[in-house]
Chains A and B, each alone.
Chain A
């Protein structure tokens, strides 16, 4: 046996094995903040991005029934046909777009997976992807995993964090391939009007772009339409429509989402999905079929969120934190830039001095600086206490 004595190259340390493009991607600002919050006791958290409802009982009961009856297997890669049919009917009725359950709908492990495979299916190295900020923390990293170039488009509170064609025109280049939309938006709660959607559709058609629309918060749209870009004439063939059960049905832990798109795109996503995931968990799929049988659950939850939104917006405005009234999701995005603190420092001091956790707006993109994300999917009594503490805190800052 011989031992080699010298290495021409220094041996790699564990960290040296990590792909270079991954090293350039920062950790989620939410995760950083979570780690600080989790060390503390008795925190009132307005930082939780999921419903405070438990999944409706009939859905949980159906999941248990499925388990009892041996639903422990793989399903077809695309997902149970019964679920795909139910989704097809739901999307047709609620969004006005018809997708063939046989070859245009793909069941995924949450919208997170759907987003990932959608981007990977269409993006080649160097392709630019437009998306609006402040936004969900995953968008830019997922584009970069696919070696695409994320191109953020800043939105602002002046127009309720809506996205307009003019903003997009400023950022589009010949390399732009896709536009990523998320309305209602996490973290701003922004929604679009039908006119906005039509304008953005015209933009996408003119510049020959594909649109990925993440409509996970769609059921949580208050008092009004929820226009989907997929329904605009001429858009279905250039849109990947993503949706799921996490928010509207309070099923985050089931990890169940879906991607609807023309057959060619669906097949491309399916190729990735079958190799990386095989299929979504069968119990979750069975639960999803049950969830789509009634809309009473989502309506009831929406009514409850709406009151809490009203309360939180009113309380924030009263204490001198300007807050627009968002028409969707379960977040408000108040402006705290007048207090001479960065959003991170504001959030840290609020946590330190009053034990209230809100996520700094900067976690959702550079233009989120100066804002806080406060989630109202938490018990009204907790929201009341949180706003009392916040009022005390800002009073202190003013003096």
Chain B
């Protein structure tokens, strides 16, 4: 992967000036490259990594395993796209193994998510079965540790 993308994936708020310094190039070149990534859709958005466990909000997340009957010509795509359209669904992946799609779903409470799965997802034609796993606690998200503080055991000055 391009070094610029690596840096942005690590910290999307990094300034073009600092990016230019790190990559030994100019600010203008960095800005042009980012614009190109945005235009071509390689960069599809910028988001904060939030530790929702720390917030006093009603939020429940679940991972849903979905078995699907693939369709002639469309394969899994049509159903996957349909599942993706629900605002409750945060992410959808096509998987190898014992099920076909994996969806990350968020709702206000357990009942909300259960209702969404049984009423909206499971009833889609072509979906054979679903398996719901509620998430209890987030330790790491998008490469970011949610709780552990970074420690530095090193001496302050060493040879």
Contacts and interface: CB of A to CB of B under 8 A. Distances in A.
B72 interface: no
Interface string B1-21: 001000100000000001011
Nearest to B20: A314
A43 interface: yes
Interface in B100-159: 150, 152, 154-159
A136 B21 contact: no
Interface in A120-166: 136-138
Interface in A19-45: 28, 30, 33-34, 37-38, 43, 45
Given A307-B22, A308-B22, A384-B18, A34 B158 contact: yes
Contacts of A52: 152, 154
A314 B157 contact: no
B24 interface: yes
Given A30-B159, A314-B21, A307 B3 contact: yes
Contact of B158 (A43, A50, A310): A50
Contacts of A315: 21
A49 interface: yes
Given A303-B3, A307-B3, A307-B7, A48 B21 contact: no
Interface residues of B, number: 16
Contact of B155 (A28, A48, A380): A48
B23 interface: yes
Given A307-B23, A310-B23, A137 B18 contact: no
A311 interface: yes
Contacts of A45: 156-157
A310 B157 contact: no
A314 B158 contact: no
Nearest to B151: A54
Given A33-B157, A359-B157, A311 B21 contact: yes
The 3 closest A-B pairs by CB, nearest first: A314-B21, A47-B157, A34-B157
Contacts, number: 59
A306 B155 CA distance: 23
B156 A30 contact: no
Interface string A306-331: 01101100110000000000000000
User: Would you call the interface of chain A mostly helix, strand, loop, or mixed?
Assistant: mixed
Contacts of B150: 379
A212 interface: no
Contacts of A229: none
Contacts of B24: 310, 314
Nearest to A307: B22
B20 to A, nearest CB: 8
19 contacts: A30-B159, A33-B157, A34-B155, A38-B155, A38-B156, A38-B157, A45-B157, A47-B156, A47-B157, A47-B158, A49-B158, A49-B159, A52-B154, A307-B3, A307-B22, A310-B22, A310-B23, A311-B18, A314-B20
Interface in A43-83: 43, 45, 47-50, 52
A186 interface: yes
Contacts of A186: 159
Contacts of A47: 156-158
A169 B43 CA distance: 57
Contact of A48 (B3, B18, B22, B157): B157
Given A137-B159, A303-B3, A311-B18, A48 B23 contact: no
Contact of B156 (A37, A303, A384): A37
A138 B21 contact: no
A230 interface: no
Contact of A37 (B18, B23, B157): B157
A323 to B, nearest CB: 12
Contacts of A48: 154-158
A313 B14 CA distance: 18
A357 interface: yes
A352 to B, nearest CB: 15
Nearest to B158: A49
Interface in A284-339: 303, 307-308, 310-311, 314-315
B10 to A, nearest CB: 9
Nearest to B24: A310
A178 to B, nearest CB: 21
A358 B81 CA distance: 55
Given A30-B158, A34-B155, A38-B155, 4 more contacts: A47-B156, A48-B157, A49-B159, A380-B22
B21 A310 contact: yes
A371 to B, nearest CB: 16
Contacts of A28: 159
A315 B24 CA distance: 11
A68 to B, nearest CB: 23
A297 to B, nearest CB: 16
Contacts of A30: 157-159
